[in-house]
Amino acid sequence: MNKKYHNKYKKTINYQRHVLKFGSFGIKSSTAGRLTEIRINTLLRLINGNLKAFSKNSSSIKFWNLIFMNSTLTALSPESRMGKGKGSIYTKSCYIKPGQILFEFSGISLNQIKLLHDFLKRKLPMKITLVIF
């Protein structure tokens, strides 16, 4: 018998995505949360800007984004009454589970990844930890 979930996703650790697979450093979530498509695009732009500042002239820094959209958010107009259906899609989102690796990096020093981790702590709406291979 399978357990039914109200939110259609489990809040437990997914044991497929909790270890580093690509890089030598990673950013892992410690709590559950939700990220919208706009916030993810903004984060990627900010990370790319920071990595360009770190790399100067070398292109040896590699970066993997492991966040994938798995849900859509819908809404009705504010003046609509109840009983008119579900509503149109206004954005995509993804649910982040605790223990999920969000980003992986290679070709970057330990001091630089600590600076990037402190920067991402302020930008993400959930608690994150640094994972070292």
pLDDT tens readout for residues 101-120: 999 999 999 999 999 999 99
Residue 48's SS3 state is helix
Which CATH number fits the domain that encloses residue 114?
3.90.1170.10
**Is there a domain that residue 4 lies in?**
no
pLDDT score for 26: 95
Count of domains for the chain: 1
Q: Which of 113, 126, 97 is nearest to 47 (CA)?
A: 113
Residue 119 maps to a domain:
yes
Full residue range of the structural domain in which residue 127 is found: 25-76+86-132
Residue 41 lies in a domain: yes
> Taking Cα atoms as reference points, which of 2, 14, 3, 4 lies closest to residue 95?
14
Q: Yes or no: say if 108 and 61 are a contact pair by the CB < 8 Å rule.
A: yes
Predicted pLDDT of residue 7: 65
Category of 74 on φ-ψ map: left (φ > 0), alpha (ψ -120 to 50) or beta: beta
* Residue 58 token pair: 């070398």
Q: How many CB atoms lie within 10 A of CB 14?
A: 13
Per-residue pLDDT tens, the chain, 133 aa: give them.
Answer: 566 556 666 666 555 678 899 999 999 999 999 999 999 999 999 999 999 988 876 668 999 999 988 888 889 988 888 888 888 899 999 999 888 999 999 999 999 999 999 999 999 999 999 999 8
Q: What is the pLDDT of residue 17?
A: 73
The answer to whether position 107 is within a domain reads yes
